[in-house]
Structure 1
Amino acid sequence: NWSNGVAGMTSSDTLQQTGINPGYYHLTVTDDYGCVAELDSLQVVLPTQVGIQTPSGSIHHVSCKGGMDGSITIQLSGGTAPFTYIWTNLQGDTVSTEAVADSLPAGTYAVKVVDQIGCTAFKGNLKVNEPATSMQVTYQVTNNLCYGGTSGLINLNVMGGTLPYSFLWNNDATLEDLFNLPAGNYAVTVTDHNGCTFTLDSIPLTQPLDSLHVSAFEVGQISCFGAKDGYIDLTVTGGTPQYNYIWSNNKFTQDIQNLGPGAYSCFISDAFGCQYQTMNFIIVEPSQIEVADFEITPSGVGTANGVIEVTISGGIPFYTYQWSNGDTGPVADSLTAGEYTLQVYDFNGCLMTFEFVVPDKPVG
């Protein structure tokens, strides 16, 4: 007999009563001989409904656009453990059967929880977001205008992702923009607030292929004393044409001519103002051709046995001699008394003319 009035139930081992309300019950069991057993305080409890909560911070949104690191954590109330979880996306696909759904892309999700006795709870419209745009990085460079210079610039333009950004360059710099750079190949990794990264592996910063310099030159020396026909011819390479020239004698051409003796140098600049200073080019003037020494042997009266012998210096050896009597060496002989002319040419063809007089030998 149950305390709720149900009586007359008979069972050898098991007694089951269904359809009863929650509360405390008293059971009396009597066998055929009138023996009685009683059981007090049988409590029937109504299970609580399973509840699902998503407190603040329970949804971890995707860090980087297109990523799959979103997650949803729920809290349960009521129900009877253990629980079964079924997570689905908007398409109805099951994406997880764990208590925490992770590795999720951006999207809208729902979860169904079933407890041990089959009670269920459902929660939908759980939204995992992602950044509106992926991070993109572009750049502009200002190349070095002069070979070996350090005036290069790299300016970055970062869009998307989540502010703030951090920067790490392959030269260990951590600024967004770099300046005073030599030529080279640069790389940078940009990281946003969520840890998303964008890497530029190669940012070339260039310079002219070669330095501005004089690759060849020719110095033409003055040919003859007083001639002022020296010249300097330059071959300039490197840098960026066109070239500008300022010579120490205030000439402005690549090559200079009609030079007298002295030292000359040139200041050269290219189209971007890169500069080069030449060495001093020395223009030398030969000394004047002259008779360093001479000896005259007089001619006997009525005979042709006079001699003129000269020693020449100056100019550029070797010398060519042309006497008015036809001799072609430093000595003119078999001369009668009279006036003679000597023309001397040096190696450069410079000419000097000398006059000599052969006297009669006195009659002794």
Structure 2
Amino acid sequence: MNKFLSFLGLSLMLSAAMAQSSTVTFNLNMSNETVSDGGVYLGGGVIGGPTAHEMTDPDGDGIYSVSISLANGTTGNYTFLNGNCPDWSCKENIAGLPCADPGNYNDRILPDINGDVTISTCFAQCSEDGSCSAPPALSNVTFQVDMGQYAGTFGTVNLNGGFNGWCGSCAEMTDDDGDNIYEITVEGLSGSIEYKFTLDGWTAQEEFAGGEPCTLTTGEFTNRFYAVDGDVTLDAVCWNMCTLCNAEPVPGCTDATACNYNADATEDDGSCVYGEGPNAGFTVMDALCHDGMGAVMLDSATVDIAGATFSVGGMAIENGMMEIAAGTHMLVATGADGCSNETEFTVNAPEELVIEVTLVSQDSGAGDGQASAEVSGGTPDYVVVWTNMTGIEVSPDSLASGLYTAIATDANGCTASASLTMTVDGIEDVLSLEGAVFPVPVVDQLNIRLATPLLGDATVDVRDMQGRLVATLAMRTAQQHIVIDAASWEAGVYSVQISTEGARASWSFVK
């Protein structure tokens, strides 16, 4: 009996312990990385050291995973490492990204654990679904430091940073012309980097107080910081300074959160301005046609705001109005003090106007063929007009053999067209060639591209609305594309037909 009670008590204790912890599965997409032979690890913060938990990819899909047990209520920091590096030199760099905790070595922040959960992300990115954005382009960065004002002695000047594992003496800088400016070029950099200059490995190093415009403080460490955006040669800064040696101070606002922040300022002059920009009143006009332009119009009170500027997509709004394509945009209103305010707006457009024509019945030889048209998209109501090869309006209920075009016009004046060829009943059908004409409207050249190469020689005829032959050309077997000079044609509606011995295609277009 006592043994049974002891066993029951132990079982209850184990159940209670299990209920107080949860399984957390970490899935890490490494598709953008060259995986180290030393492995991939989860560690840092509340997880443990740099090799606390090795992650594995048994199916070789580039997703490395590990499941660990954490007490409910656990939160804190963690990170991923590409390699076995006790000094954390192979830790992912997410400095400056929204998922980084700058107060804790730019590690990730673990959500409050209160149940089994799966965390999926990408190495060195803030993905929340396990996907990876395309890797940034790699750039060459030339670093320079001016040692002319350094009073001590040294043998070598070194560059140390996250990109070389803070290796000490591995990246020696050179001064080939003896001007006390040492430099080195590092290839293959991208994103945000932290670095500093050191002497004779780690014998001496730059020491920053924090808050300097060229530095970033991560935990207890303050280093130089730079966001790589293409090949660049950085300024030859003075040792332990953000500026050139003996450089004249540049007064201005040095607070990046201020409206009038000056990135070139090296000395704050107390001019910083804080606040929000003007509120812009405006009206949005939707596009009338699917591929047309809408507009945004500022109201008169907004236009009259002294010193204010207004822009959309980096383009200034002139005279209070801007034509703009359909989509979601951001209007930026900037006051005379440099403070700005953003307002999102959407320009809508109707669905594409489409007309589809159908041969209802063939011509018996008495001009009694019938066709129908179905229109969708655009803005109802629709008007459909049928014309023959000469541009004369005809009834779709009494069509003789030939080429006909149906033109649909919606309530906004948008148009779409489609053509068909009426045949005489009893005569073998002619195959239809698939293809397209472009651009529309035509300016100087008419392009015709068939879906497949021709199986035989063909004739190309272009006619105006009166049925007059404007141009005729030949296409050869296996040809698929032809360009016709249209510069001399007058503005109007035209039709073009390609005919082979057993196939035909026709289109209408506007110049």
Please, what TM-score do these two structures have when normalized by structure 2?
0.27
Larger relative contact order (C-alpha < 8 A, sep ≥ 6)?
Answer: 1
Q: Which has the larger radius of gyration?
A: 1
Kindly indicate which of the two structures has a greater share of residues assigned to helix: 2
Kindly indicate which of the two structures has a greater share of residues assigned to strand: 1
Please, what TM-score do these two structures have when normalized by structure 1?
0.37
